Structure 1
């Protein structure tokens, strides 16, 4: 049986801009669950912010969050729908 999917948002704040290429590689690995992406470089503050809309299983979304959360200089928060699809 296929695992139920959830829709959610993932907010990523990148304080160490040297990590951007690593983050983009991870996002590419999970591109199958990313349905929308907005990236904002905030040059005046020397940070970048990425907002993702995701549609995947809790395991897939958790895997993405876990990989991103291990990167020093990167802060991540997510919220998922209670409704399953």
Structure 2
């Protein structure tokens, strides 16, 4: 059974991790929202003692907002979302 993509948007979620202890909580959240994740890439940046994670989702707006909000509540973690144009709106 495929998921309904009629009311979804493609979103890039950028996550900066400055506290390595937060990794387990982040991975748990990403697993929780896994059905909406198209792909992810993690980059360790040893010189700055941080990790950068890019997550691409195709999800309803409320799911993306919920994930971003939960990530933002983890100490040592910050996240921002970049939304693709909403191609489902009628042209002007």
TM-score under structure 1 length normalisation = 0.91
Match of 1:14 among 7, 11, 17: 17
**Structure 2: runs of 5 or more not aligned:** none
Cα shift readout 1:32-51 (whole Å, capped 9, x = no counterpart):
11101000111222111100
Name the one with the larger strand percent.
Answer: 1
**Do residues 36 (structure 1) and 39 (structure 2) align?**
yes
**Structure 1: runs of 5 or more not aligned:** none
TM-score under structure 2 length normalisation = 0.84
Measure, in 2, the Cα distance between the counterparts of 1:65 and 1:7: 14
Partner of 2:28: 25
Measure, in 1, the Cα distance between the counterparts of 2:44 and 2:31: 19
Larger Rg computed on CA atoms = 2
Query: Paired residues, what number?
Result: 84
4+ residue runs of structure 1 moved beyond 4 angstroms? none
CA RMSD, Structure 1 to Structure 2 (Å): 1.5
